[in-house]
Structure 1
Amino acid sequence: MSKEANQPDPDWIVALDKPPRDRTRNDLYVIFLRLQKLEAFTNLPSSLFLQICQCAFYEALDEEVVLFRQGDHGCNWYFVLSGKLECTTTEIKNRKKTFHCKVLSGGANLGQCLLDHRAHSVTVVTKEWCELLRIEKRDLTRLWEVNRPGLEKLLSFRSAEVLQNNGPHAIWKKSQDRQKLNVSDQRSRSPSPQRKSPTAWKPSEKKRLSPSPSIKMSIKKLHHAGFVLRTLILDRSPSLIRDHKVGSRTYRRCMVGSEMVDWILQQSPPSIIKCRLHVVGMWQALLEENALSHVGRELPFADNHQLYRFQEDHLGLESQPNPVEVQRAEEDWIDTLNFLTKICSDALMRLILKKPPHDRDVEELEIIYEELLHIKALAHLSTMVKRELAKVLIIETIEKEGTTRESRMRELPNAAWFSKALYVKLTYNAKKEDRDPLLIDDNWGCHLSVTFCTASSIVFGDEVAIKALRVKENVLFHQGDEGYSWYIILRGSVNVIKYGQGVVCVLNEGDDFGKLALVNDAPRAATIVVREENCQFLRVDKQDFNRILKNVEANTVRLKEHGKDVLVLQTVFLNKRTSSPTGNSTVQSTSKTSVNADEDFVIAKKKKVASFVDFWNVVANSSFSESGSVRDFLETLTLDAQEDTRTNPELQESLTKIQRLVEKLRRDEEYKQIHTWEVQKQGLSEFRRPSSDATGSKQRIPIRIHDDAIFRVFCADHTYTTLRTSVTTSVKQIINSVSEKMCLGGHDLVLCEVKSCGERVTFRSDDICITSRLSCNGQIFISPREHLDALTPLPSQDGPEEGTIAILETLDSREFAHQLTLYDFELFKCIHEYELIYSNFGRHNFPGCITANLDLFIRRFNEIQYWVATEILLAINMHKRVQLLKKLLKVALYCRDLQNINAFFAIMMGIGNTAVSRLAQTWEKLPAKFKRLHTELESHMDPTRNHRTYRLWVAKLSPPMIPFMPLLLKDLTFIHDGNKNYFDGLVNFEKMHLIASSIRLMKFSRSEPYSPDSGALVKNIQEIKQYVRNLHVIDNQKLLNQLSNRLEPPKTI
């Protein structure tokens, strides 16, 4: 029965009783006004406070109601508004023995065990009528992830969770320890720092920074890599580890740095190690984690006469490896090399950044620049700025093992509660001159370092009169400090804290901070505190930051016309490795100069125009000859050139260039052949008569705008008609043809694609070349707009009902990857660079232009991905599934070696399909060797830091190769959406440079012909070729999940 005295304001109860989605702004305000009266909510960040108002519920419970029992897994967190609750616990060995723990009253909270999924260790029962604030588990978890520091304050306020750690005996022991400590406190006013309760909870340990699991795993792998290298060196080249005498001192069992680099280069495959610098990065990574040490304790690894030891030799453990250890090292050798190759770039960059800026050579600056390309915070900066940053960046690391920065002396609030520790009241006394530091230690293990006070001013108990505290924190800078540096997070994360607001946000890898204070020459706007060990930052000092900004302006050329800027030019350094030729002439201009319109511009010279047109033809290729406007322009240019040649005979060579080009275009137009493409299961294939070559041995040709396409259009009743139209025929024209051919009435007909899953994608009336945009099993349907819901997929769209594992078992994995790569490269070569621009800027902005070849290549990626999942899930026998999984992993490995990255990613993503990855029994049967191979291959797909692993991998490859096309399109989309086309009416050339750089990768990838050696002993090459060009797939994810559940039914609880 409720008490009238405890009846709260009904307004906020009504608001809390509403579902969260129905609460209005006024409801949240009413709840906020009620909760802010509670002490526990006074210092919460406003954002967290409002979220609690949004998701909390009100509970009113009568006397003797069990809130939860010991051993139950909770579903809610509770905050006691009023009333009393009793906590009891039962001894596990003796169920009849119950201990009374504590009585909770208003202001207490309980249920923190939800966050680490522990069961309740106490039973809680109401002793009288109580009011509670309840938050469900999912909401508490979400709040914990978003605003952990703020929520920690609330959860630690009079929490019952300390009682739930070690059972009744621990509680009794803590109380005894507390009594003993209180007695000793009465005897002496100067407690020893070493006196601690053995079972006490220690806030300092809870707040200790810890490395992330991925960092811990990398450290473990690095030490294993050191074991592998040492074992193999002692087995293969024991003379490499020997005693060295330097001066009068002898260093036992050491290695010379240059010999260490030579040994790895000799022992490793050329496909893994590219240059000595990468090997230096490998040894540096081992050196940083103490798997290797320098005899003179110098940290950087040097490729010279410096001496180094393995950790075992440094500790004096001069053991020789036994045959079992040698065999284990041999098995892990390639995996170790791949792992070290993956992390060597990071270690090498840290090694370079630790050098003084003036000691970095050109090659090292290029390495830093390549790394800066993958940092999110620098993506918007120009090439010139990034190269300038590479010269001045310095790495700053918050080391592990408790390395901290001391916060500046500052006064804390008048009253502070230090987590079950001492109640501290701070006062100021300017006359205190004794600066001897004292350490206050309480029975809960909380340590406070006290300075600027005398021993007589310390009063132990509840109150301590001191001037200030020096609190050790991992702080980079404080709010209000003067700004001296700009920081970029290379590894780890930081909290951004503002006075009175708490943690306002969390910054992670790739983010930057501290720039605003440098730009505006203002104090720091927030305090930055690191959140974990081994945080690494790139730092730019204020002087360098200001200089780079000035250089940006100094390298800018502004072209003016009638007093207005019409063109802004900026010095750009192109990557020499992938850049296209720039012709014989360059434009040189003086910085900060203005060129008037009446001055002759070098591009307007007649010779330059002719050279430009010739170069335009080389770059644009087929798009140049197919454009009607280009042909009209060439005819006009030819007439003007002929006229100019009469007065300027020196232009005869330029005229000859133009005439030769015009003649070539006329021949191409005269002998132009129209090809016909037919929509089949594998996409658009060239239509051939039965008597023609059906083996597919003929090289694929690109789809042109003048080609035709044959396809079927279905109605709702699955009847169809076959059309042959130009690929540039619009949807509106196709609808008219189908309507006339099938006698369809109505004027509101629409054309759409019906996918195998039943999804319908409607085409726009002005869309062209729709046949190349179909999904793997998609079909074209026509229907009145109001009857679109009646369209259903054809039975044939479900895909195959039986797998082809019997065929796959007979096919050689290496040759399969070879033929797969040859066909993929044919499709890749058919893509014109302009198609990426059409797709990125929008097809509708380029009338008459098609992206058919690009669409088919993207479709091929999806086809391979679904083919992998289809074949695995259609294999009924588990043994067959395991064998197929092994074969597919080997095919993926060979595709990687053949530099067919697109197919490699497709196969790995197919293996990672949720319907395949959930087959736990199948994966358990996979041998350990292939599990390691799967882990190794998956490491290339790491999406962190903007797919940095993939980008560094591709940067080391030479043509020919097939890049990961979806990521290339994603980069172009990011550049297009994140940058304006115009700034103040001027073309944004920086955006155009970024787009050109991405497209240049595609041009570079196919700059060499693809002709890897085929397996000479493979007899069924033709069968493999036919198979890879005609893959049958199930692209309905729902159907794939059903097949997966049939193979291994989900476990029921």
Structure 2
Amino acid sequence: MEGPEGLGRKQACLAMLLHFLDTYQGLLQEEEGAGRIIKDLYLLIMKDESLYQDLREDTLRLHQLVETVELKIPEETQPPSKQVKPLFRHFRRIDSCLQTRVAFRGSDEIFCRVYMPDHSYVTIRSRLSASVQDILGSVTEKLQYSEEPAEREDSLILVAVASSGEKVLLQPTEDCVFTTLGINSHLFACTRDSYESLVPLPEEIQVSPGDTEIHRVEPEDVANHLTAFHWELFRCVHELEFVDYVFHGERGRRETANLELLLQRCSEVTHWVATEVLLCEAAGKRAQLLKKFIKIAAICKQNQDLLSFYAVVMGLDNAAVSRLRLTWEKLPGKFKNLFRKFENLTDPCRNHKSYRDVISKMKAPVIPFVPLILKDLTFLHEGSKTLVDGLVNIEKLHSVAEKVRTVRKYRSRPLCLDMEASPHHLQTKAYVRQFQVIDNQNLLFELSYKLEANSQ
């Protein structure tokens, strides 16, 4: 293809490749096939650069993008050694939870505890995308070098046990199970004979009422640390994870790890609010705690952190908390009215109109209520076919792209919070990033009835 027409086609091809690389960036490291294709195209374009001077600027940008996504052209180049990353729900050390969050990829390695029926455990190092069979292989290898009796890999099963006692048997071919565990769920390796004897860890079913860190920290400090942490998590979610989550479901787990973690964090904050209120035995202190959480919600809304705002309000709306009539009666009228306004804002009536009106007036940076974005995408996906008479439904894909572009808009500016370094700054930061919560609704109701048996 010589002449202007040939040059135009090459420029169009190069523009498409640049847009593809710019959109996918680091995700391409997980796709070997895509890497090979881009490598071949890159080498062909480099050959044409000397023939077409007009391609030079785009070729330079392509070279920079290729380096960014680490698609190293020389095959002898050794990949950098991978650093083991902590999952925020599995922190055991303060220094881990204080680290700035970075995006997870399926090939990343993590440490994870796998428990035995007697609640002893082995710690394994595993890829985030590891299959159940791979995890059991690592467990078996660990047991062979411990005092535990070694079991054959094929005789072990892997089970997710929730704090409620619910058990889910994981199939050998399932992968990416780490990011889909419930808040207080743990992995157990056992034989089929011992499956029925599995019970939650004692710390998940035994709670001790009393004063916790929430009583000692200022609402503004908690709200700002919530916003800062959730901004880190939100920034880690690639735009395509929203599409994969809705379009691919179970098959997209590897590509949606960061989104899964953000959704679980939202649930964790909701349960944290309910847990803190219900572990407070003194009615006066409980009322003060309700007041503090309403203040936290107000500051999160002011920070344009609607994810935290929603989570806190939903925690206060938990049936085990909302039934505490005597406690709510102690709340000053000003805060009762403010909370009613917050409930109206989170009301799903008329397709979440109140929320949509508020967020439409906000400018970046914004942390949206992510589950609603997924709800909208699910409606677009299930409401019309992707293929119509063998042709791609362009209108549907444009609508999906428009919705996903809102995520880009919300993150188009950096978050700048005025967070004064208080004497307990690091302690508060660590507390906010590793909540200890009760996610068993039956247990929450038990605590609620102990506090106010006759409330309606």
Same fold (TM over 0.5): yes
- Partners in 2 of 1:988 and 1:786 — Cα distance? 51
SS in 1 for 2:365: coil
Unaligned runs of 5+ in 1: 1-599
Task: Quote how far apart the aligned CAs of 1:624 are.
Answer: 3.5
Equivalent position of 2:443 in the other structure: 1039
> Which of 306, 315, 319 is the equivalent residue of 1:914?
319
- Partners in 2 of 1:750 and 1:976 — Cα distance? 36
What CA deviation, in whole Å up to 9, does each residue of 1:281-318 have, x standing for no partner?
Answer: xxxxxxxxxxxxxxxxxxxxxxxxxxxxxxxxxxxxxx
Give the paired residue count: 443
Is 2:296 aligned against 1:888?
no
What CA deviation, in whole Å up to 9, does each residue of 1:533-586 have, x standing for no partner?
Answer: xxxxxxxxxxxxxxxxxxxxxxxxxxxxxxxxxxxxxxxxxxxxxxxxxxxxxx
> Which of 771, 781, 789 is the equivalent residue of 2:178?
771
TM-score (norm 2): 0.89
Equivalent position of 1:637 in the other structure: 41
8 Å contact from structure 2 (residues 310, 346) kept in 1: yes
- Partners in 2 of 1:663 and 1:651 — Cα distance? 18
> Which of 646, 658, 675 is the equivalent residue of 2:62?
658
Is 2:48 aligned against 1:618?
no
Question: Cα distance 1:602–1:800, how it changes in 2: closer, same or farther (>3 A)?
Answer: farther
Is 2:437 aligned against 1:1007?
no
Task: Quote how far apart the aligned CAs of 1:836 are.
Answer: 1.8
Question: Cα distance 1:842–1:604, how it changes in 2: closer, same or farther (>3 A)?
Answer: farther
Task: Quote how far apart the aligned CAs of 1:652 are.
Answer: 4.2
Question: Cα distance 1:801–1:732, how it changes in 2: closer, same or farther (>3 A)?
Answer: same
Is 2:215 aligned against 1:809?
yes
- Partners in 2 of 1:924 and 1:619 — Cα distance? 52
Equivalent position of 2:429 in the other structure: 1025
8 Å contact from structure 2 (residues 323, 455) kept in 1: no
SS in 1 for 2:85: strand
Equivalent position of 2:453 in the other structure: 1049
> Which of 117, 130, 136 is the equivalent residue of 1:716?
117
Question: Cα distance 1:640–1:715, how it changes in 2: closer, same or farther (>3 A)?
Answer: same
The share of aligned pairs that are identical, in percent, is: 35
The 5 Å alignment of 1:172-183 reads: none
What letter matches 1:815 in structure 2? D
- Partners in 2 of 1:964 and 1:841 — Cα distance? 20
Equivalent position of 2:338 in the other structure: 933
SS in 2 for 1:958: coil
The 5 Å alignment of 1:281-430 reads: none
What letter matches 1:812 in structure 2? E
Unaligned runs of 5+ in 2: 144-149
Question: Cα distance 1:655–1:976, how it changes in 2: closer, same or farther (>3 A)?
Answer: same
TM-score (norm 1): 0.40
- Partners in 2 of 1:764 and 1:978 — Cα distance? 31
Question: Cα distance 1:978–1:851, how it changes in 2: closer, same or farther (>3 A)?
Answer: same
8 Å contact from structure 1 (residues 728, 850) kept in 2: no
What CA deviation, in whole Å up to 9, does each residue of 1:52-107 have, x standing for no partner?
Answer: xxxxxxxxxxxxxxxxxxxxxxxxxxxxxxxxxxxxxxxxxxxxxxxxxxxxxxxx
Task: Quote how far apart the aligned CAs of 1:1005 are.
Answer: 1.1
- Partners in 2 of 1:809 and 1:718 — Cα distance? 32
Question: Cα distance 1:828–1:658, how it changes in 2: closer, same or farther (>3 A)?
Answer: closer
- Partners in 2 of 1:870 and 1:828 — Cα distance? 24
What letter matches 1:755 in structure 2? A
Please identify the structure whose Cα radius of gyration is greater: 1
Larger RCO (alpha carbons 8 Å, 6+ apart): 2
**Which deviates further from its counterpart, 994-1003 or 982-991?**
994-1003
8 Å contact from structure 2 (residues 241, 256) kept in 1: yes
8 Å contact from structure 2 (residues 222, 296) kept in 1: yes
* Greater share of strand: 1
- Partners in 2 of 1:602 and 1:854 — Cα distance? 42
Task: Quote how far apart the aligned CAs of 1:663 are.
Answer: 4.5
What letter matches 2:171 in structure 1? R
Task: Quote how far apart the aligned CAs of 1:997 are.
Answer: 2.0
What CA deviation, in whole Å up to 9, does each residue of 1:648-687 have, x standing for no partner?
Answer: 45444444443444445356986745121345xx5145x9
> Which of 388, 396, 404 is the equivalent residue of 1:983?
388
The 5 Å alignment of 1:554-569 reads: none
What letter matches 2:279 in structure 1? L
What letter matches 1:757 in structure 2? S
Equivalent position of 1:874 in the other structure: 279
* Greater share of helix: 2
What CA deviation, in whole Å up to 9, does each residue of 1:514-549 have, x standing for no partner?
Answer: xxxxxxxxxxxxxxxxxxxxxxxxxxxxxxxxxxxx
The 5 Å alignment of 1:530-929 reads: 605-645=9-49, 648-664=52-68, 665-666=70-71, 672-678=80-86, 682-685=88-91, 694=95, 696-742=97-143, 743-745=150-152, 747=154, 749-785=156-192, 787-798=194-205, 800-805=207-212, 807-842=213-248, 844-846=250-252, 849-929=254-334
SS in 2 for 1:940: helix
Question: Cα distance 1:663–1:914, how it changes in 2: closer, same or farther (>3 A)?
Answer: closer
- Partners in 2 of 1:695 and 1:846 — Cα distance? 27
8 Å contact from structure 2 (residues 86, 96) kept in 1: no
- Partners in 2 of 1:854 and 1:618 — Cα distance? 20
